[in-house]
């Protein structure tokens, strides 16, 4: 297995990677950008990686930024996995989406509407918790709504 070559310069597509690393609608784009930026040990790259480490709602992205920063010799702490809300107020978003749909709507209809209304929330929870978790949350919102 060959060691990854790290360059002490900015990539030619730095601006594009910078935008992708901050794209709220796609944790996969952020992850891929972080991974690609990890090949370039430059202060601007380190700033972006530190931002993803501290602020990304998806742990996989934080973890990748952490791993790369360690490789670069940066003094960073292991990111803490969020125990409750990945995005503050997301439960209210889920409830609002659920209430905006017909009573007999499907989980797929819920996901579609969530993506249209708040793709950032959908993306963060899909990346962090997965679709099974979202389906369980949707079912619980259904139960809660019927009890009110």
Tell me the pLDDT of the chain (148 aa) as tens digits: 444 667 788 999 999 999 999 998 899 999 999 999 999 999 999 999 999 999 999 999 999 999 999 999 999 999 998 777 888 899 999 999 999 999 999 999 999 999 999 999 999 999 999 999 999 999 998 544 444 4
Is residue 61, in this structure, part of any structural domain at all? Answer: yes
Is residue 83, in this structure, part of any structural domain at all? Answer: no
Is residue 137, in this structure, part of any structural domain at all? Answer: yes
Is residue 118, in this structure, part of any structural domain at all? Answer: yes
Extract the tokens encoding 96: 């609002």
Same domain, 66 and 96: no
Residues 6+ apart with CB under 8 A from 107: 135, 138
Same domain, 113 and 64: no
Total-model pTM: 0.79
**How many domains, the chain?**
2
| Cα separations in angstroms, 17 against 31, 35, 36, 101, 126 | 10, 10, 8, 37, 22
Identify the domain containing residue 56 by its residue range.
14-71
Is residue 1, in this structure, part of any structural domain at all? Answer: no
Is residue 79, in this structure, part of any structural domain at all? Answer: no
Same domain, 94 and 61: no
Question: Half-sphere exposure (CA, 13 Å, Cβ side) for 53?
Answer: 20
Same domain, 20 and 67: yes
Same domain, 98 and 64: no
Is residue 110, in this structure, part of any structural domain at all? Answer: yes
Same domain, 28 and 60: yes
Is residue 4, in this structure, part of any structural domain at all? Answer: no
């Amino acid at each position: 297995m060959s060691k990854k070559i790290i360059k002490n310069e900015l990539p030619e597509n730095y601006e594009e990677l910078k935008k992708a690393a901050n794209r709220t609608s796609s944790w996969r784009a952020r992850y891929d950008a972080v991974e690609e930026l990890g090949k370039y040990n430059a202060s601007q790259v380190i700033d972006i990686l530190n931002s993803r480490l501290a602020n990304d709602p998806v742990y996989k992205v934080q973890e990748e930024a952490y791993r790369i920063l360690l490789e670069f010799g940066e003094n960073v702490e292991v990111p803490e996995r969020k125990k409750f809300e990945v995005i503050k107020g997301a439960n209210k978003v889920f409830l609002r989406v659920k209430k905006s749909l017909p009573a007999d709507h499907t989980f797929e209809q819920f996901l579609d509407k969530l993506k249209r209304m708040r793709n950032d929330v959908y993306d963060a929870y899909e990346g962090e918790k997965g679709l099974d978790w979202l389906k369980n949350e949707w079912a619980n919102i259904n139960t809660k709504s019927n009890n009110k």
